[in-house]
Amino acid sequence: MQLFLQQFPIVVRSLNAGFVQTLKLFFVTLIGAMPLGLVISFGSMSRFKPLSVFTRVIVWIVRGSPLMIQLLIIFYFPGMVLGNPIWGGKEAGRFAAASVAFIINYACYFSEIYRGGIQSVPVGQDEAGMVLGMTKAQIFFRVKLLQVVKRIMPPMSNEIITLVKDTSLARIISLQEIIWAGQAFMKSSQGISGAIWPLFFTGVYYLAASGLLTLLFGWIERKLNFFRV
Amino acid sequence: MAILEVQNLRKSFGRIEVLKDIGFTLEKGEVLSIIGSSGSGKTTLLRCLNFLERPDGGAIRVAGETLFDADDPATQQERQVRKKRLRFGLVFQSFNLFPQYTALKNVMLACELLARERPDYRANKREINQQIESEAKALLHKVGLANRLNSYPYQLSGGQQQRVAIARALALSPDILCFDEPTSALDPELTGEVLRVIRELKTADRTMVIVTHEMEFARNVSDKVLFMADGVIEEMGPPEQIFEHPRSERTKAFFSHMTRE
Ligand SMILES: Nc1ncnc2c1ncn2[C@@H]1O[C@H](COP(=O)(O)OP(=O)(O)O)[C@@H](O)[C@H]1O
Ligand SMILES: [Mg+2]
């Protein structure tokens, strides 16, 4: 017990540092993937056939293969095949590579959710906007967007909570996120060795994060309850 | 000069010819009712007038201005479609209100967006928006919804929603207001209030085209009645002629079918 009390502050400091990295990856992914997903969804809905086919193939490949492999390819491919290790060997480079992989992966998932949401808005909404002389952009932003947001809230919440946990995959390219930090104590780190509880303890962080997100999404969904679609 | 002139209008979907050589004219202030069995092309005709479908042939003129002529590519530029749509208004069978806006905002939205294109918008923003709001309120008052300005569509009955949709279509002061079976999606007890509102809209200078299955209403409100069958105008004339003395066998058959129902 005494040993645990000695270890606890050291472990928590280390896990906190890892969790900061986890959160950074989480937010960077969201900020990049949410708008990129919209661009991809427009690509996949394009009436210009080559573009929509191309986009859908990309989305299929990204959604159909493990994120872990995508991480490895994006991190190692430039160095191995192009002979140009663009990411460098430092933590910042690994973070950049992880961000790129996560943003592309999640943008593809988001794009499918957006597409479903956009296509589920009745065509009558477009037509009502058109006969009232609105432009395409006005119809999208002023008429359809909020209806789409309301419709996609449940699947988006799921996906975003999954993202919190998926960030742990980045340790495959040695990004020093929270699992990586916890695992270090199994071998030896800062005078603590052979301790497995720090790894278990990371679960508390994930639970806290997904709990907060669940509350946040519940609040947003209630905020959107003022109308029905 | 006729306010609306439709000439030789044709429209096909794939190999099905839905409109075959439709032509008629309408004077300012006239009310035209279009009747005919389902599938005869009534909705397609209204959609062509509102530029939701592009006709394959023929011409559409409003107050002498050619809005569409299949033989004149200059009248078919995509950029100008939006302005042309403003000459017509359309009330849909299924209302199509914007669910996230109140009744008042539904009526105001398009006017607000359009006002931004005015050169004096920046200078007179406040006055312009106040003007739009008071006009929208007056319109909702006119359709009997002065007390439901802040209701969202889901809080309104079907009849009330359709009346909001009528106010919304009127807000842009179209030259010609079209209705596509405005009461077909309503419970029978709610059709009366909507028909009454439409009847009250009839003034000396408001031109309307109404697709309807309400024969009594069509007979009372119309200056002209057009009976459509299989994409052609089977018979057209004043209501007394069409309803009392139809010449075409198909018109007669249609009415005897209607009364049997
Ligand atoms: N977008 C479309 N694509 C293919 N066929 C259509 C389309 N819209 C209408 N039609 C066909 O055109 C015919 C006329 O339809 P419509 O104009 O809706 O008739 P009405 O309003 O008189 O019932 C119908 O046979 C219908 O199936
Ligand atoms: Mg119809």
ipTM: 0.94
List the domain boundaries for chain B: 4-98+158-260
The pLDDT assigned to B204 comes to 87
Q: How confident is the model at residue B260 (pLDDT cuts 50, 70, 90)?
A: low
A126 pLDDT higher than 90: yes
Domain range for A100 is: 2-226
Q: Is A132 on the interface with B (CB under 8 A)?
A: yes
B261 pLDDT higher than 80: no
Q: Is A208 helix (H, G, I), strand (E, B) or coil?
A: helix
Give the count of domains, chain A: 1
Q: Flag if A131 and B90 touch (Cβ within 8 Å).
A: yes
The Cα–Cα gap between A127 and A122 comes to: 9
The pLDDT assigned to B85 comes to 96
Which architecture characterizes domain B4-98+158-260 according to CATH?
A: 3-Layer(aba) Sandwich (3.40)
Length of chain B: 261
- Encode pLDDT of A167-181 as tens digits: 999 999 999 999 999
A89 pLDDT higher than 90: no
Q: Which residues surround ligand 2, an ion (CB under 5 A)?
A: B 43
- Could you tell me the pTM of the whole model? 0.90
The pLDDT assigned to A137 comes to 95
**Residue identifier of the C-alpha nearest atom 10 of ligand 1:** B13
The Cα–Cα gap between B71 and B146 comes to: 47
- Encode pLDDT of B148-193 as tens digits: 999 999 999 999 999 999 999 999 999 999 999 999 999 999 999 9
Tell me, what DSSP letter sits at residue A143? Answer: I
- Beta-carbon count within 10 A of A1 CB: 5
The per-residue b/e assignment along A36-74, b for 16 or more CB within 10 angstroms, e otherwise, is bbbebbbbbbeeeeeeeeebbebbeebeeeebeebbeeb
The Cα–Cα gap between A157 and B110 comes to: 33
Q: Flag if B52 and A127 touch (Cβ within 8 Å).
A: yes
Mean pLDDT value across residues A111-117:
97
CATH number at residue A119: 1.10.3720.10
Q: Flag if B94 and A228 touch (Cβ within 8 Å).
A: no
A28 pLDDT higher than 80: yes
- Is B54's C-beta closer than 6 angstroms to any atom of ligand 1? no
The Cα–Cα gap between A198 and A13 comes to: 11
A83 pLDDT higher than 90: no
Q: Is B112 on the interface with A (CB under 8 A)?
A: no
Mean pLDDT value across residues B203-232:
96
Interface test with B, best of A131, A135, A138, A142 (most B CBs within 10 A): A131
The pLDDT assigned to A3 comes to 84
Q: How confident is the model at residue A81 (pLDDT cuts 50, 70, 90)?
A: confident
Mean pLDDT value across residues B122-135:
96
A205 pLDDT higher than 80: yes
Q: Is B41 on the interface with A (CB under 8 A)?
A: no
The pLDDT assigned to B12 comes to 97
The Cα–Cα gap between A22 and A205 comes to: 10
- Encode pLDDT of B49-80 as tens digits: 999 999 999 999 999 999 999 999 999 998 89
What does A96-140 look like in DSSP terms, one character per residue?
HHHHHHHHHHHHHHHHHHHHHHHHTS-HHHHHHHHHTT--HHHII
Mean pLDDT value across residues B212-236:
96
- Residue type at position A24: K
Percent of chain B with pLDDT over 90: 96
Q: Is B22 helix (H, G, I), strand (E, B) or coil?
A: strand
Average pLDDT, chain B: 96
